[in-house]
Each structure stands twice: as C-alpha cells, then as structure tokens.
Amino acid sequence: MPKDNKNTFNLKTPKGTKDWSGSDALLRDRIFNTIADIFKRHGGTALDTPVFELREILAGKYGEDSKLIYDLQDQGGEICSLRYDLTVPFARWLAMNPDVRSIKRYHIAKVYRRDQPAVSKGRMREFYQCDFDIAGSFDAMVPDAEVLKIVTEVFEGLGWQGRYSIKTNHRKILDGVFEVCGVPSDKIRPISSAVDKLDKMPWADVRKEMVEEKGLDGAVADKIETYVVRRGGRELLNDLLKDEALTANESAKAGLEEMTNLMDYLEAFGVLDRISFDMSLARGLDYYTGVIYEVVTEGSAPAVQQSSLPTSSSEAPEAQKLQKSGKKDKSKSGNLEDDDRSNDPTLGVGSVAAGGRYDNLVGMFQPKANIPCVGVSFGVDRIFSITKARIEREQRAEALRSSEVDVYVMAFGGKGFTGMLKERMDVCKTLWNADIKAEFSYKVKPKLPQQFKAAEQGGIPFAIILGQDELANGKVRVKEMGLEEGHPEKEGVLVDLSSLVDEVKARLARKSQSNVDALAQQLEGTKTEDAGV
Amino acid sequence: MPKDNKNTFNLKTPKGTKDWSGSDALLRDRIFNTIADIFKRHGGTALDTPVFELREILAGKYGEDSKLIYDLQDQGGEICSLRYDLTVPFARWLAMNPDVRSIKRYHIAKVYRRDQPAVSKGRMREFYQCDFDIAGSFDAMVPDAEVLKIVTEVFEGLGWQGRYSIKTNHRKILDGVFEVCGVPSDKIRPISSAVDKLDKMPWADVRKEMVEEKGLDGAVADKIETYVVRRGGRELLNDLLKDEALTANESAKAGLEEMTNLMDYLEAFGVLDRISFDMSLARGLDYYTGVIYEVVTEGSAPAVQQSSLPTSSSEAPEAQKLQKSGKKDKSKSGNLEDDDRSNDPTLGVGSVAAGGRYDNLVGMFQPKANIPCVGVSFGVDRIFSITKARIEREQRAEALRSSEVDVYVMAFGGKGFTGMLKERMDVCKTLWNADIKAEFSYKVKPKLPQQFKAAEQGGIPFAIILGQDELANGKVRVKEMGLEEGHPEKEGVLVDLSSLVDEVKARLARKSQSNVDALAQQLEGTKTEDAGV
C-alpha cells in the first residue's frame, strides 16, 4: 500500500474485505462453476436477492450475533442492513411468494458480518456463502437424502475423493437422548450446545461446562457421555434401535426411524459409505429441527493453525490431532465466539460444509405460508484455501494461471520489419471467431523476445508465429511453448492458414487430454496417500 | 405481498431492489456467461472487489451524483459506502497494485445508487454492471480497437446480429471542433454536455441551451451544428481530414489520426461495418480522454416508452422515431437527471453499452502509478429486458424455463404398487453420475398423473418411466414429452437399463440440435425483417 504522496488516498479495501484477482479469482470461479453445475444437475434454480434487506427482516433471527449486522446509514427512507447469511433472505422470499410450494434453489453470494476480522485465519467481514436448499412438504427424508447426495457430488467434483467425511445426526435423536438421560427440558438447548463443542474440546471439558457452568447433575452428564461418544454407521443405528429406553422416547423413536429411512435412501443413491452417524454432532443454530450434518476434511482444521492455509501435507495429520485433542485455545473454548472458529460462524471448526432440516423458519415471516426446508451451505472461502494449497503442493502451475488464453499470436522479421500488426489482428480475429482464446502484443512493432516473454509469463501453451515470407505463402508457424531442446517440434510446425483453426483446436485437445491424464495419475497417487482420512 | 397477519413482517425487498428467480435468473445467468466467455476469449481476467469501499475512495469521483452514494452507518471503525460503479474500484485496485502495469480485467457485479427508483422504467437502486477494461501503456488505438471488437462479439453472441449499431467519436476531435468554431475554453465542457443531448433532443433545443443557458454566441453554435450533425464512416473521416481549419487544430489533428488508426484496425478485425462515426456523440462523464462509444439497438429506446419492455416488434420503429424527434419529455430535457435516462446513468438514453478511453483516472489515486485505460460497460439489466422481450415475442418457451432439468424419472404400477422409490433413486443416481440433469418425485408412492404434471410444468423434455415388470426384465421406458397423438414414439420406447445413459444422451443431443435448427430458422427470419436497423 504505497502512501508516499501527501495527496493520495488511504489506498486499501475496508477492514476484513479483500479484492479477488488473477489466479485466485479464476480458481474461485472454477469452484463456483463446479458447484453450480451440480446444483443444476439436480434441478436447482438460481435465486438472487438484494445485498441489503429491510432491517426488520433480519431482526430476531440471529440471536446474540445480531450485533454483527452491518447497517446502512439512515439517509431518509427505509432502514436497511446488509444480509448476514443467505438463509433468511431465502425464507423471506418463500414467505413473499406463497404460490411457490416447492423449490430447489441455490445461491452463491457474499454475506456480511461486522466481526473482528482475522484475515490470517480467513475470518472476513465480507465472504462468500454457497447454499442449496429444498423447500416443500414431501415424504420424510427423501429430499434430505438428495441434499447429502449433492454434498458427495460436490466434493467428488472438486477432486476430494476419499478426503472428506460427512458427519450426520438428528436433532430428534439428540433431544430424545437428553430426555432419556434426564436433562430438564429447559436445559436441553444449553446442553446440546455444550455437546456441539466436542469437535474442539475433550469430553472432560464439555462435562465440566455441563456440570459447573450449566448446573447439570454429574450422573446425567455421565449418562449423556455413553451416547454422544458413539459414532458409526448402520450398526450404530441398529444398536440404538435395540435400546429400549431410547425407543420408548417419542422424539428419539421418530428420529431413529427417520435415520433408518435416510440410510436406506443414501444406500439407493450409492453414497452411504461416505456418511458417518456421529452422535456428538449437535450444530449451533437453534432453527434445525431434523437431520443435521457437517463435512470435515483432512485439510479443514486450518482455523486451529496459524494460517488458514496448510502449507504442506505433513500438517494435515497434525491438524487432525489438534482438532481431536482440542489442546489449543482450551482457555477460550467455553465461548463459541472464540478465535478458533472459521470465517463462517455457521460452520463448525474445521468443517467445509454444513446444514440440516429447518421446518419452522419460513413460518417466522408468514405463519400461514410456512414451508419445511432442508439445505446445505458450503464454506467456499475455506474450500478455496484448501484447494489452492493442494494445487500448490502438487505444483500444478497450469491450474494457477491468471487467465485462460491458449494462443499468443506473434510476428518477427529482419530489416524493414513492419510489425505485421494488421496481420496479427487478422489471425486473432480468425481464432476469436472460432472461439479460441487468443492474445497479441499491443505494440505496432514488438520485438520477438518481448512477445515470447509475454506468452511465457501468461503460461500460454501455444504461440502462432507470423513471418513475412511464410505468410506470403499462406503459412504460419504453430509452436507449443516449453518443449525441451531436441524435441522434433521445438521450432514449431508450418501450417496452412486455411487449416489453422483445425490445427490449433486439435493441438489444444491433445494438450488438454495429456493434462487430464497427468492430473489423474497425480490424484491416484495422492488418493492412496490420504486414504486414511 | 400478503400482509394479512398482524404479527408478520413488512414482506418486501427494499425500494428499488428486486429478487431474481426462476426463468429470469436463468436467462440472466446465460447472458452473463455468454459475455464472460467472450471476455475470457480475449484474455480477460476476473477482478472482484468488495461491495463497499472506504468513503474517501469514492469521494470526488462522481460530481453532483455523489449525493446518490449509499453510506454504511458509522458503527465504529472505518467509514464506508456501497460502490457506485465498477470503474472507480478498478482504478483504486490498479493504484494499490503498482506492479500490475497491464491487465485486461472484467467485472460483473451489482452497483448501488440511492436514486429515485422507477421500477417500471427499469431504474433500480441495485443493478448489475458488466465491465471490461484494458489498462496499460500501449501503442495508440490497438487496445481500443480490441474493446470494440469485443463489443461486436458480445452482441453477435447474444444473437443480436444486425440489430445493433456502435456509435463512436473522439474527445480530441470534439474538443478541436469546439476550438475551431470559437468556443471559449471554459465553455468547452458545458457545450460538450449540451451536444451529448442530441440523442434525445432536436438540434434547435440544444442550440437554445447553448445560446440561452450557456451564453454561447449564436454564430458559434451554428458553426458547431455543421459538424455535430455529421455521421458516417471512413468517407466522413476523409472529409474531415481535408478540412484545413480542423487539421490546423492540434487536438483535432491528433484525434483524426487516432480515428484513422482505429478504422484501420477495425477493418483488420473485420468489424468496421458495425461502427458509425457519429460527431454528435459526446458522453456525459468528464473523465474520458480519447475515443468514446455507445451501442444502440432497435429495442433500446424503452426509457422513452411507458415500460422498459417493448412488448411487440412493431414498437421498435416507433421508438426509433421517438428517439430521433425527441418530442417526448422536451420540457424536462434540460436536465440530464430527467426521467428519460436508463437505470444506469452511465449509459445514454437508449443505449445498451458504452465506454471509452480514460487515461487519467488512476492517477487521481496515485499520481506516480498512473496508467492509461480503455473500457466498456454493458447495461446488462437492459440487455436482459430486451432479450427476454424478444424471446417472448418469438414464443421460445424452452428458452424461458426456470430450471434446466432434462429427465424426470417416474414410476407407475397397479394394485400393490410400492412407489418404487429406491428404484427411482437408483436410476437418478445413474443419470446424475453421468452428468445428466434429472429429478424425481419426493413422494414414496406418487401417482402417475402427478409425476407427468411435474414434468410438464417444469418443461422437462424427457420422462423415464419405471414399471415393475419391465424393470424386472432390466428395461425402462424413455418417453419424449409433448409428442403428438399418433407419433410412433408417443408411448415411449423400452430401453435396456445398461444402455440408458447412452440412449438418453443421444436423444438429448438430437433434441438440442433440432432446437438449434428451429432457432436458427427463426433468427434467419427475424434478421431479414429487422435488416433496416
């Protein structure tokens, strides 16, 4: 930030905000596109709401966090605030459009929280959320299962095969467990929020919070422990179904039935093995009413680290250890608002996506038009950081280019060289009109080394070189950049101008296939390496 | 907006803002993607800046319009405002990143103006801008020509062949004309802004403003008229180059030379015929320093109409007439802020894109890091309205669907029908995993008519129908929706489950090709019709 001139401005973005440019912007857009394509594959339609809402719409939705809402100045007229998440605007839209009785909607957009920013930890005041929700009254657990199928498609689509795990639980099971263990009904939510901290605190600390801070009977806490430490798959569900104390409880019984349904459906979708039933998962937000879930990954514990970017793969296991032992920041861990949480407080520590069923939120706006919903929110800023770190580890330079240009059109000549500007323009026109990404130097008479340097710096894979004599014979030279000395095509190949488009397209297709092959090999390698997640 | 319950909220979006949903959101995203793909084809890279900036960054950039800036409330900390356009944030970013000496950047995002909204006229407080700019010191007019080439690619890409025209002029020519005609130097900008109104006022009114309001000598105004009424192509340029009074003026001479360069380059790019040299074009913003341009279209005069959507093609010629005669709103036309302007005040009346060269804006932030720029801003909200109206006229229902789902998977059966939910899920899984967009009913036991209704309402082109017996033999029925009675495939065809993906993909490809063919025929028809634009 240069500030060497007295008349200059304070040249910065506001605290907790950033510019996205170059390869970061490109990678982020690729992640957005991958995710949006999957949403569309499932019939998702885009909803775009204003960046600010009437303040009364947001009021009373975020509890204590309401103090983090950004207000617009009262300049006469309506009182407005920047949106805090994408869920409340969706609920407001549903309430405003009572003729819409079912919808799958997605929304990828920025949200705003006037929080203490910690840029190094990736906690920002302006950050992206990426939400998919299904609203409507349907048979139990069918849309819920599809949302979880979508979660698997997103992470497979991002190339995270074998590197993520989906923890699920059910609010009704959890509430039933608390009732069966003897938690007084007015303590159920506080005790639930203590359980939610098991992902960053050991049981002993959680128990202490329950007993010392929240006044729970120690014996009740011990009984809770026998449930909430359990995790597994269908066998855990079957065990619980045999637990007569639990099945005698109405809430638990209903939850267990729904979990059985869910597992059946996930099996039909072929993704049951990607899901773990984790009885410690409680999720902070009060509005969940059914199944809840959270996605964790090897690289998703950056918030516990100094930086949000794990810089080497050796950090990942350590991050896992840290996450499990919860040794760090123990002093602060009694407070959900502590420094350990991510940039996106709706996500738990170390998670990259989260969500669940919320059947009553729309009714808060319009009781007559209530409509049950289930959805998921992807923490795209964190997914971006992890993906970028992985690409850097794998040294896939081509994946971190700042533009996508495929061809640089250049010219050279000896004495009397005019620069061949119009000829370069004409060749570019031909390429552009054939939908080939191309650039050329904006100099009238550029030097050849300058042009090569520009192509190299841009990571552009092909050069088309115009020479006066060759062009007079209707030919240009196509050269793949970066070929080794001695390669038969090191100096490029002469191509008829009339077949230039076909030649370039064929070469780009070959190049792209060989990149895909190399990446697949690499992924195969890393997959084995990381199989332990 | 239902307000029938005392406890409900004021269910609306803030004044001058709107939700985008359904087919509108889908069509808008298609327009964005078309434009962004063209920007990337030219090496454009995305820049995304925060939605709010430090207030001092925006101060002093928008003249009188600064009063329209939305301020954030001072909640302690920095004083911020919502961005007013995308150009100033780009200039701020360039000034902050002095190592970037050249870039082609694009930015598609919302901007904010606390203006009196006129929703029926499409004037909003939150609306999209879509900008492409080239920053860097290059040889004259080379990037300028590429920006204009991009403009042609965008409108051709949107299917507006023959329906748009690019008006260009040059600030140096205009300034030279004013000097040669004898306008005192302190009156050059006010006189220029009077000339800018020639697109909505007849010359007589502009002259009146010059003479009566701005105190110009009537003889000088008459001399100006002989220039600013002229429009044409290369022949106009050649005429001006023979005008000795003009070529003796330094500014005019430089401008005419640059226009000659520009036309040469546009010829090399094959788009010279798309451009008209229009000496009445002046553009409102003060910061332009070189070539300026504005794109007009047959349908782009909605601001003069009652509604922003021309509802029938017969309106277009009339709109043109209105635009030329400027009869409407004559009383208010002395004020640039009148009701006639579009939602996007940087665009002139009736234009769908505009831009030019601005060589000094970055220097306002950082004199040492000044960097010349040229760019264009597309009025995407207006482009959206015109495109949508055209699609409605052409009754291309398939282009106005709200989702892109290709297949609806359904089941039916007689007595003892279980609903085949898991079988439907399994088939959907197979389709999704093959990247085919598919949906199914979330009911355990849906009725067949309900399922057909859902497919029809979604405009989904294909149904896959599961029957117990057929499925037992490894077969399902693939049915194209909407076939006429008597069509040989009206009842669908039985397909092996093992070849389902290939069968569906082949049918989708055929369907899509026949849609393209039909559209091409339609376009061919309308092109001839509208050739007079």
CATH number for A407-519 (one of 3.40.50.800, 3.10.129.10, 3.40.50.720, 3.30.930.10): it is 3.40.50.800
A453 vs B: CB within 8 A:
no
A80-97 pLDDT, tens digit each: 999 999 999 999 999 999
Testing the interface with B: which of A93, A366, A380, A410 to mutate, by most B Cβ within 10 A? Answer: A366
Mean pLDDT, chain A, rounded, equals 85
Confidence band for B403, pLDDT divided at 50, 70 and 90 = confident
Closest A-chain CA to B47:
A21
A42 vs B: CB within 8 A:
yes
Confidence band for A20, pLDDT divided at 50, 70 and 90 = very high
Fold of B22-302+346-394: BirA Bifunctional Protein; domain 2 (3.30.930)
A523 vs B: CB within 8 A:
no
B239 vs A: CB within 8 A:
no
**Other residues' Cβ atoms within 10 Å of the Cβ of residue A475:** 18
d(CA B51, CA B48): 9
Looking at residue B355, its amino acid is G
8 A C-beta contact, residue A185 and residue A171: no
User: From the CA atom positions of chain B, what is the Rg in Å?
Assistant: 28
Looking at residue B139, its amino acid is D
Testing the interface with B: which of A3, A7, A11 to mutate, by most B Cβ within 10 A? Answer: A11
d(CA B497, CA B504): 11
Inter-chain CB pairs, A–B, below 8 Å:
291
Proportion of chain B in helix, strand, coil states, percent, rounded to 5: 45, 15, 35
8 A C-beta contact, residue B92 and residue A11: yes
The tokens of A428 are what?
């570019």
8 A C-beta contact, residue A75 and residue A40: no
d(CA B102, CA A453): 14
8 A C-beta contact, residue B225 and residue B280: no
Which regions of B178-326 does DSSP assign to beta strands (E)?
A: 231-232, 275-278, 291-297
Looking at residue A350, its amino acid is G
* Percentage of residues of chain A with pLDDT beyond 90: 66
A180 vs B: CB within 8 A:
no
A369 vs B: CB within 8 A:
yes
Binding-site residues from annotation of A:
85-87, 113, 129, 133, 283, 287-288
Mean pLDDT, chain B, rounded, equals 85
> Residue A412 is inside which H or E element, if any?
strand A407-412
How distant is the Cα of B59 from the closest Cα of chain A, in angstroms?
A: 10
pLDDT, position B520: 64
Does A530 have pLDDT greater than 60?
A: no
φ/ψ of residue B487, rounded to 5? -65, 135
d(CA A363, CA A371): 7
pLDDT, position A521: 64
pLDDT, position A328: 35
- Contact check, Cβ <8 Å, B14/A80: yes
Tell me the chain B residues in contact with residue A74 when contact means C-beta distances shorter than 8 Å: 73
pLDDT, position B392: 86
ipTM: 0.83
pLDDT, position A331: 34
Query: In the predicted model, what is the mean pLDDT of residues B195-217?
Result: 93
8 A C-beta contact, residue A152 and residue A273: no
Looking at chain B, the domain(s) classified CATH 3.30.930.10 span 22-302+346-394
- Contact check, Cβ <8 Å, A114/B142: no
Of B226 and A67, the one with more pLDDT: B226
Binding-site residues from annotation of B for L-histidine:
85-87, 113, 129, 133, 283, 287-288
B334-353 pLDDT, tens digit each: 332 333 334 444 454 468 99
Looking at residue B111, its amino acid is V
d(CA A238, CA A163): 27
The tokens of B430 are what?
């197979």
- Contact check, Cβ <8 Å, B14/A78: yes
Cα separations in angstroms, A469 against A253, A412, A418, A420, B133: 84, 11, 13, 12, 35
Tell me the chain A residues in contact with residue B56 when contact means C-beta distances shorter than 8 Å: 9-10
Cα separations in angstroms, B330 against A320, A335, B257, B318, B336: 71, 65, 37, 17, 12
How distant is the Cα of B206 from the closest Cα of chain A, in angstroms?
A: 35
The tokens of B383 are what?
């482009």
d(CA B192, CA B282): 6
B151 vs A: CB within 8 A:
no
d(CA B409, CA B424): 6
Whole-model pTM? Answer: 0.84
* Percentage of residues of chain A with pLDDT beyond 70: 83
How distant is the Cα of A454 from the closest Cα of chain B, in angstroms?
A: 11
d(CA B148, CA B167): 10
CA angle A28, B70, B27 (to 5 degrees): 45
pLDDT, position A118: 75
8 A C-beta contact, residue B410 and residue B387: no
B146-157 pLDDT, tens digit each: 999 999 999 999
Half-sphere exposure of B488 (CA within 13 A, CB side): 0
Nearest to B378, CA basis, from B196, B50, B147: B147
B312 vs A: CB within 8 A:
no
Q: List alpha helices for A409-462, DSSP H.
A: 421-433, 448-457
Which regions of B171-307 does DSSP assign to beta strands (E)?
A: 231-232, 275-278, 291-297
d(CA A274, CA B435): 20
β-bridge partners, A48? B20
d(CA B451, CA B444): 12
Does A319 have pLDDT greater than 90?
A: no
Query: In the predicted model, what is the mean pLDDT of residues A356-369?
Result: 91
Q: How far is CA B462 from the centre of its chain?
A: 33
Beta-carbon contacts of residue A295 (< 8 Å; ≥ 6 apart): A151, A155, A164, A165, A166, A167, A351, A352, A353, A354
Binding-site residues from annotation of B:
85-87, 113, 129, 133, 283, 287-288
B308-335 pLDDT, tens digit each: 333 333 333 333 333 333 333 333 333 3
Does B400 have pLDDT greater than 50?
A: yes
Looking at residue A443, its amino acid is K
Q: List alpha helices for A282-339, DSSP H.
A: 315-325
Looking at residue B509, its amino acid is A
Confidence band for A326, pLDDT divided at 50, 70 and 90 = very low
Residue owning tokens 């959270």: A294
d(CA A18, CA B71): 19
**Long-range CB pairs of A60-66, under 8 A, 24+ apart, other chains included:** A60/A364, A61/A88, A61/A364, A63/A286, A65/A113, A65/A345
d(CA B231, CA B237): 9
Specify the range with the lowest mean pLDDT, choosing from A164-178, A423-437, B481-495.
Answer: B481-495
Looking at chain A, the domain(s) classified CATH 3.40.50.800 span 407-519
Confidence band for A231, pLDDT divided at 50, 70 and 90 = very high
β-bridge partners, A439? A408
